[in-house]
């Protein structure tokens, strides 16, 4: 019996090591794939088929499956519908500018990767650092200005904030779409920041030239 305490002490470190080695993608519980409803599992399968992996945002948000599915349908329609009032590049640029302003690690990683798919490896980096120094068209710059103003001080916005967009030919429908994209990322940035969502590492290498 004298040896039992020594055996217990030896077994404790290994359990701690295994717990530390398990990757975590959020500060709240992330459900196992076997726990989520069938429609969420089907969506996970579609992610794997299209990209080879399941985004951590989906795994994390699936803790509340109905909330996740309702959010995803809106997000997917807003960001992926073609044709939209804005180009996909413009929508992804807004996502990066807003996420940079909110210091959102998750959305900066993922949407920089998506923007590289439709632009080049340099643009997302410059937008994340300081979009004012990026080589943008007047329309793109006005959209970024609008998205940042909406992010930082929406309560002080006036009709003049829309005037530049209108003068560049954007319709009210396009302005509404831009506002929705900016609002979407202000929403998801805050969720990701507050709950510690960790981006998939693959985002950092997607769309870059191999070394």
**3-class SS at 85?**
coil
Mean pLDDT across 46-53: 97
Which 3-state string (H, E, C) describes 47-78?
Answer: HHHHHCCCCHHHHHHCCCHHHHHHHHHHHHHH
Q: 132 and 45, same structural domain?
A: no
For residues 144 and 181, is the Cβ–Cβ distance under 8 A?
A: no
The answer to whether the predicted template modeling score (pTM) of the entire model surpasses 0.85 is yes
**Confidence (pLDDT) at 164:** 95
**Confidence (pLDDT) at 8:** 45
In terms of Cα–Cα distance, which of 208, 55, 22 is closest to 119? Answer: 208
Q: 135 and 100, same structural domain?
A: yes
Specify the CATH number for the domain of residue 117.
1.20.1290.10
pLDDT in tens, 159-200: 999 999 999 999 999 999 999 999 999 999 999 999 999 999
Specify the CATH number for the domain of residue 47.
1.20.5.810
Q: Does 19 score more than 80 pLDDT?
A: no
Phi and psi angles of residue 90, each rounded to the nearest 5 degrees, phi first: -65, -40
Q: 192 and 98, same structural domain?
A: yes
Domain hosting residue 113, numbered range: 86-196
For residue 162, the tally of other CB atoms under 10 A from its CB is 17
| Residue 210 pLDDT level (bands cut at 50, 70, 90) | low
For residues 84-110, b (16+ Cβ closer than 10 Å) or e, as one string? Answer: bbbebebbbbbbbbbbbbbebebbbbb
Number of independent structural domains in the chain: 2
């Amino acid at each position: 019996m004298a040896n039992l305490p020594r055996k217990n002490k030896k077994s404790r470190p290994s359990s701690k090591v295994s717990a530390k080695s398990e990757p975590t993608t959020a500060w709240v519980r992330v459900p196992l794939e076997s726990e989520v409803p069938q429609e969420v599992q089907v969506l996970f399968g579609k992610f794997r088929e299209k990209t080879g992996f399941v985004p951590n945002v989906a795994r994390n948000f699936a803790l509340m499956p109905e909330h996740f599915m309702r959010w995803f349908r809106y997000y997917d329609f807003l960001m992926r519908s073609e044709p939209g009032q804005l180009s996909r590049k413009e929508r992804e640029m807004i996502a990066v500018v807003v996420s940079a302003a909110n210091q959102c690690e998750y959305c900066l990683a993922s949407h920089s990767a998506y923007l590289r798919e439709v632009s080049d490896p340099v643009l997302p980096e410059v937008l994340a650092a300081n979009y004012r120094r990026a080589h943008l068209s007047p329309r793109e710059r006005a959209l970024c200005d609008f998205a940042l103003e909406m992010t930082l001080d929406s309560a002080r916005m006036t009709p003049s904030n829309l005037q530049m967009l209108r003068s560049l030919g954007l319709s009210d429908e396009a302005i509404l779409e831009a506002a929705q994209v900016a609002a979407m990322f202000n929403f998801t940035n805050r969720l990701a920041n507050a709950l510690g969502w960790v981006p998939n590492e693959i985002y950092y290498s997607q769309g870059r030239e191999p070394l």
